Amino acid sequence: MKKTISVVGLGFIGLPLSLSFCEKGLQVIGIDVDHRKIEQLLQGQTSVHEDYQGETLSSILQRHLQSGRFTPTSSWQDTRASQAFIVTVGIPVSLDGELNTAPLFHAMEDLGQAIKPGDLVLIRSTLVPGMMEKELIPRLKAKSGMEPGVDFHVAYAAERVAEGRAMYEFQTLDIVLGGYTESCAQAAKELLGELTSGQLHITTLSVAEAVKVVENAQRDVNIALAQQLARYSEARNMNVYELIRMANTHPRVHLLEPGIGVGGYCIPNAYHYLNASLDDENAMPLFRLARQINAYVPNYLMDRMAGELTDIGKSIANSHVAVLGLGMKDGSNDTRNSPAVDCTELLISYGAKVKAYDPTVTEMLPYQVESLEECLTGADAILVGTWQPEFSNVDWAKALRQCKPDVVLVDLKDRLTPYVAPYPSEVKNG
Ligand SMILES: NC(=O)c1ccc[n+]([C@@H]2O[C@H](COP(=O)([O-])OP(=O)(O)OC[C@H]3O[C@@H](n4cnc5c(N)ncnc54)[C@H](O)[C@@H]3O)[C@@H](O)[C@H]2O)c1
C-alpha cells in the first residue's frame, strides 16, 4: 500500500510539493493555518504559478482533489493516517532584519501533538543553522512526550527548488540530508527517494542546515559583484551584459547578471539567517556588504530616473511613472522582497504618481492597474521591473505611443529601448 504523508504549510513550496507526491501515487494531507487558503484549495483554486508538462498547478490540484489523493485541511485531526510529516513553514524576515520564528515554532508544537510512534518528521524549511537541535527537536520532544531518534524519526533536508520550476526540480535536484540519527536519515532518504531521481547526500544536521543558507548567500555575493560591474560599466560607457557574456566565455568564470535588485524569500533572507547563527554580528562583513549593495540598487536606479527627469526639465514629484512587472523575478507572481515593489514605493515616497501593471501578480497592490494601456497613458517615465511572459506578446511600438514623447526609460536589459526613439535633442534641451 502507498504511504500517506502530511505536508505542513501549503505555500509556494508546500502546495507543489504535495501535488508532486500525489503525482507519484501517495496520499497527501496538506495542512495550513490559513483557513481562507484551505477554502480556496478545496475549490481547486491557487495563486501559486507552476506548470508541469503543460498543465497549470490549479489543474493538477483539481485532478488530485478529484482522485482523492490530496486533502487540504486546517485540522490536525485529519493527519492521523500519516506516517510522515514534511514541514515547509518558513521564517519571514522583516525589513529591519528581524526574524519571525513564531509560525514555525507553532507548527512544531502542533506537530508534536500529532505525531505517533514510528512517524517521520522531515523539516524542509530554510532555517537559522543550529535551529534543529536548539529549537525544533526540543519542541517536538516536549509536545509529543516521545524520544526523538528512538520513538520517532526526525531529519532535515532544505528545499532547493526555484519557484516556477518547482515541479520539475522536486524530481531532479540533488538533496542534502541530515538525520538526528542514522536511521532517521535513512527513513527520510526512503521518503525523498519516492520523489526525486537526484542524488541524496547524507551529512550532519548542522551541515545540512548551513548548506542551504550558504548556497543563497553565495548568490547574494555574486549578484552584488555583478551590480558593482554594472556601475563600473556605466562609468566606462560599456554594456555590462556584454562584458559579463564575454567574461563567461572563460571556463572558470561564472558571473551572474545584475538586475534591479534581488528579491524573493530565499536570497535576501540568507544573510539574516547566517548572522542569527553567530554570536558576533560583525563576523561576516563580506556577506553584510553584499546584502547592502543589493538592497541599495532600487534607490540607485530611482535616483537615476529622477536625475534623467530633471535633465529634461521635469521633476519626479510632478511625473507619472509606469512600472511594468512587480514580481520578485521575471515570470513570478510572488512579490515578497520584490525590488520592483521597492522601486515603486520609493517613487511614491518621492511624490511620483505611479501606475504599475503586472498581469501575473493578481493580488492588486494599491498602485496596480488592470491594463497596460492605463499604466502607460501619459507616462513621463517607465521602469521595466520584471518581465512577465505576457509582455513578450505585446506590440510595444504601438503600446508605447501612449506615453509622453520624451519618456524616460529605465530598462536595464534593453527590452523596450529599441521601441523608444531618442527624443530630438533640440526639443529635449529647449
Ligand atoms: N519560495 C521559494 O522559492 C523557496 C525555495 C526554496 C526554499 N524555500 C523555503 O521553503 C519554506 C516555505 O517557503 P514558501 O515560499 O512556501 O512560504 P509561504 O509563506 O508561501 O508558505 C508557508 C505556508 O505555511 C503556512 N503556515 C504558517 N504557519 C503555519 C503553521 N503553524 N501550521 C501550518 N501552516 C502554517 C502559511 O499559511 C503558508 O501558507 C521557507 O523556509 C523558504 O525559505 C522557499
311: pLDDT strictly greater than 90: yes
Tell me how long the chain is. 430
Instruction: Compute the average pLDDT of residues 285-289.
Output: 95
Contact 5/83 with Cβ under 8 angstroms? Answer: yes
The ligand 1 atom nearest the CA atom of 14: 16
Atom 24 in ligand 1: which residue has the minimum CA distance? Answer: 9
* Share above pLDDT 90 across residues of the chain, in percent, rounded to a whole number: 93
The ligand 1 atom nearest the CA atom of 12: 16
pTM above 0.85, yes or no: yes
Q: Report the separation in Å between the CA atom of 26 and the middle of ligand 1, taken as the mean of its atom positions.
A: 21
- Give the torsion sign (CA, 57, 61, 64, 70): positive
In the DSSP assignment, the letter for residue 181 is S
175: pLDDT strictly greater than 80: yes
| Distance separating alpha carbons of residues 170 and 301, to the nearest angstrom | 36
The ligand 1 atom nearest the CA atom of 158: 7
Atom 23 in ligand 1: which residue has the minimum CA distance? Answer: 9
In the DSSP assignment, the letter for residue 421 is P
Best CA proximity match to 180, nearest among 213, 144, 206, 219: 206
Higher pLDDT, 213 or 427: 213
- Which pLDDT band, with edges at 50, 70 and 90, does 429 fall under? very low
Residue to probe by mutation, ligand 1, list 20, 32, 89, 109, most atoms within 8 Å of CB? 89
Instruction: Compute the average pLDDT of residues 300-317.
Output: 95
Contact 361/368 with Cβ under 8 angstroms? Answer: yes
Q: How far is CA 353 from the centre of its chain?
A: 28
Q: Mean pLDDT check: name the lowest of 78-82, 217-221, 277-281, 392-396.
A: 277-281
Contacts 24+ apart (CB under 8 A), 365-369: 365/326, 365/335, 365/341, 367/323, 368/326
H/E stretch holding 295 reads helix 285-311
Please report, for residues 108, 142, 223, 281, 419, the alpha-carbon distance to residue 90 in angstroms, rounded to integers and kept in the order given. 12, 21, 23, 22, 42
387: pLDDT strictly greater than 50: yes
In the DSSP assignment, the letter for residue 43 is T
Max alpha carbon distance in the chain (Å)? Answer: 81
Contact 300/308 with Cβ under 8 angstroms? Answer: no
Q: Report the separation in Å between the CA atom of 118 and the middle of ligand 1, taken as the mean of its atom positions.
A: 26
Residue to probe by mutation, ligand 1, list 7, 265, 333, most atoms within 8 Å of CB? 265
Domains of the chain: 4-203 (3.40.50.720), 220-291 (1.10.1040.10), 297-429 (3.40.50.720)
212, 355, 375, 403: which is the annotated catalytic residue?
Answer: 212
* Share above pLDDT 70 across residues of the chain, in percent, rounded to a whole number: 97
Question: Could you confirm whether 212 is annotated as catalytic?
Answer: yes
Q: 108-146 burial string, b = 16+ CB within 10 Å, else e? A: bebbbebbeeebbbbbbbbbbbebbeeebbebbbebbeb
First-last CA distance in the chain: 79
Residue 416 has what pLDDT? 95
427: pLDDT strictly greater than 80: no
Q: Report the separation in Å between the CA atom of 158 and the middle of ligand 1, taken as the mean of its atom positions.
A: 12
Q: Report the separation in Å between the CA atom of 336 and the middle of ligand 1, taken as the mean of its atom positions.
A: 12
Instruction: Compute the average pLDDT of residues 172-177.
Output: 98
Contact 383/325 with Cβ under 8 angstroms? Answer: no
Best CA proximity match to 110, nearest among 128, 89, 83, 81: 89
Residue where the block lists cell 531521481: 197
Contact 4/29 with Cβ under 8 angstroms? Answer: yes
Question: Could you confirm whether 134 is annotated as catalytic?
Answer: no
Give one DSSP letter per residue of 277-289, joined into a string. TSS-TTS-HHHHH
Q: How far is CA 153 from the centre of its chain?
A: 29
The ligand 1 atom nearest the CA atom of 13: 16
Helix axes 205-235, 240-247, angle to 10 degrees: 130
22, 37, 184, 266: which is the annotated catalytic residue?
Answer: 266
Q: Report the separation in Å between the CA atom of 11 and the middle of ligand 1, taken as the mean of its atom positions.
A: 5
- The grid cell for 387 is 518581465
Residue 301 has what pLDDT? 96
| Distance separating alpha carbons of residues 11 and 37, to the nearest angstrom | 9
Identify the bridge partners of residue 70 per DSSP, sorted by sequence position: 28
Region at 414 (left for phi over 0; alpha for psi -120 to 50; beta for the rest) = left
Residue 425 has what pLDDT? 47
Lining ligand 1 with CB less than 6 A are 8-14, 31-34, 37, 88-90, 103, 106-107, 125-126, 159, 161-163, 264-266
Q: What is the overall mean pLDDT for the chain?
A: 95
48: pLDDT strictly greater than 90: yes
Residue 151 has what pLDDT? 98
167: pLDDT strictly greater than 90: yes
